[in-house]
Structure 1
Amino acid sequence: MTASNKDSFLNTIASKLGRERRYDVQRPDMQDLIPHSYGSLTTDDLIEILKEQCLFIHTQVIESNPEILQRTLDDLIQANGGGMVITSGDARFGEYKLTFPDSFVWEEAAGREQNIIRSESANTAIIFADYALAESATIVVESRPDQGRSLHFLPAHYIAIIEKKRLVLRSTQAAAALNRRIEAGEPIGSSINFISGPSNSADIEMQLVVGVHGPLRATYVLI
């Protein structure tokens, strides 16, 4: 990815602000902005916070483990009414030996339009969360060639698998981890999505309706 017309754009901004263009802007040290610990909070504490917050965002939490994860997911798919499943191309599906007979995989080779069509036709989407924020029951997922944005929003049901090691308190910890990747020169996706359960809207007469703009149901599977 390259920036086009960068200098002319920044020069125009400086002109509109009525000042000279600045070239000495220093990036702040992220470590000065991010808490270094959770204090006395343990992983079990974070799990309890996550569970409590999920009650407020209409999201089910199921605890599982690697040995029964396949069965847990199969039961959820059936509870959702069966049908087609779409997964991301995350390598962790292979690591946990997860397979789904009636399924698509979001893959770069299929092309954007075909992946979107697959997402529209799927009843359930299953992904691995990159991070999970206990404080707001939010999952963090990166858009990548093997995991497009539509995967999270078009299927009727959404299952996010959360590994305990990916559970943090709040967004500052997730931002710190992403920043470390950037500093190390690793590529970052075109967008980072923060998803807190199914969509909620109370625009009409202040009546809360769940699932208007995305999945009708969201489930977090904690392993």
Structure 2
Amino acid sequence: MTVYGKESFLNTIAAKLGRERVYDVQRPDLRPLIPNSYGSLTNDDLIEILKEQCYFIHTQLIESNSEILQTTLNDLIHANGGGAVITSGDDRFLHYGLSFPNSFVWEEAAGREENLLRSEAANTAIVFADYALAESGTIVIESRPDQGRSLHFLPTNYIAIIEKERLVLRSTQAAADLNRRVEAGEPVGSAINFISGPSNSADIEMQLVVGVHGPLRATYVLI
């Protein structure tokens, strides 16, 4: 790909900023800005914060554990009206011994179009959160070959499983861990998605409409 006018464009930006062009860009050290603790907040406190925030973002929060996780998810699928289920290819499904009838898995081998068709046909999507932000009720999901972005937006119902140790206060802590992984040379997803409950829009006359750009219902299962 040929880039036209790059130098003149950057020169104009520098001039507007009233400084010389910067050619050697150094990555800033953000570590001093990232707190290592939540002060007096405990993990149980974070759970209470998450519960409160889920109320405001119209998201159901269910507490479960590894022993009854399969039953919890089966009950939710039934409450959603049954139908097809799609999951990510996350290894944690095997770790917890989870399986579902009438289900598909987002997998790289199936190809993009087939994965899109599976997601569109699914009534419920089930994924594992990579992180959960208590303060905003947000789950953080990486886009990887085993879970594309459309997996989170096309099904009618969305279930995110949150492991207790993945719960942090806010995006600062999630970003710090992602930064650690990058510096350690660990693979990180091609995109980082921040999802806060079901799709919501109040663009037209400030009237809240749910489900315009994604799932109608979202449920977090905390284990």
TM-score (norm 1): 0.94
Residues 159, 221 of structure 1: 8 Å contact kept: yes
- Tell me, in whole angstroms, the C-alpha distance in 1 between the residues paired with 2:34 and 2:200: 30
- Tell me, in whole angstroms, the C-alpha distance in 2 between the residues paired with 1:35 and 1:26: 22
Q: 1:87 to 1:20 in 2, by over 3 A?
A: same
- Tell me, in whole angstroms, the C-alpha distance in 2 between the residues paired with 1:207 and 1:5: 45
Residue 114 (str. 1) matches residue 114 (str. 2) = yes
Residue 124 (str. 1) matches residue 120 (str. 2) = no
Q: 1:54 to 1:106 in 2, by over 3 A?
A: same
Q: Give 1:20 deviation, angstroms.
A: 5.3
1:140 — aligned with what?
A: 140
- Tell me, in whole angstroms, the C-alpha distance in 2 between the residues paired with 1:170 and 1:205: 31
Which aligned pairs between 1:55-74 and structure 2 lie closer than 5 A?
55-74=55-74
1:164 — aligned with what?
A: 164
Q: 1:87 to 1:12 in 2, by over 3 A?
A: farther
Letter in 1 for 2:188: I
1:14 — aligned with what?
A: 10
1:76 — aligned with what?
A: 76
1:204 — aligned with what?
A: 204
1:152 — aligned with what?
A: 152
Residues 14, 20 of structure 1: 8 Å contact kept: no
2:90 — aligned with what?
A: 90
Q: Give 1:32 deviation, angstroms.
A: 1.5
Residues 5-29 of structure 1: per-residue CA shift (max 9 Å, x gap): 68x7763443222465423322111
2:214 — aligned with what?
A: 214
Q: Give 1:107 deviation, angstroms.
A: 0.2
1:47 — aligned with what?
A: 47
CA root-mean-square deviation = 1.6
Residues 120, 154 of structure 1: 8 Å contact kept: yes
Look up the SS of the partner of 1:109 in the other structure. Answer: helix
Letter in 1 for 2:136: S
Unaligned runs of 5+ in 1: none
- Tell me, in whole angstroms, the C-alpha distance in 1 between the residues paired with 2:21 and 2:190: 28
Letter in 1 for 2:181: R
Look up the SS of the partner of 2:45 in the other structure. Answer: helix
Residues 57, 196 of structure 1: 8 Å contact kept: yes
- Tell me, in whole angstroms, the C-alpha distance in 1 between the residues paired with 2:8 and 2:159: 46
Q: 1:170 to 1:10 in 2, by over 3 A?
A: farther
Q: Which moved more, 1:204-213 or 1:69-78?
A: 204-213
- Tell me, in whole angstroms, the C-alpha distance in 2 between the residues paired with 1:137 and 1:33: 23
Q: Give 1:108 deviation, angstroms.
A: 0.2
Q: Which moved more, 1:118-127 or 1:204-213?
A: 204-213
Letter in 2 for 1:11: E
Unaligned runs of 5+ in 2: none
Percent of aligned positions with the same letter in both sequences? 79
Q: 1:168 to 1:10 in 2, by over 3 A?
A: farther
1:174 — aligned with what?
A: 174
Look up the SS of the partner of 1:159 in the other structure. Answer: strand
Residues 149-202 of structure 1: per-residue CA shift (max 9 Å, x gap): 000000000000000000000000000000011111122222100000001111
Q: Give 1:205 deviation, angstroms.
A: 2.4
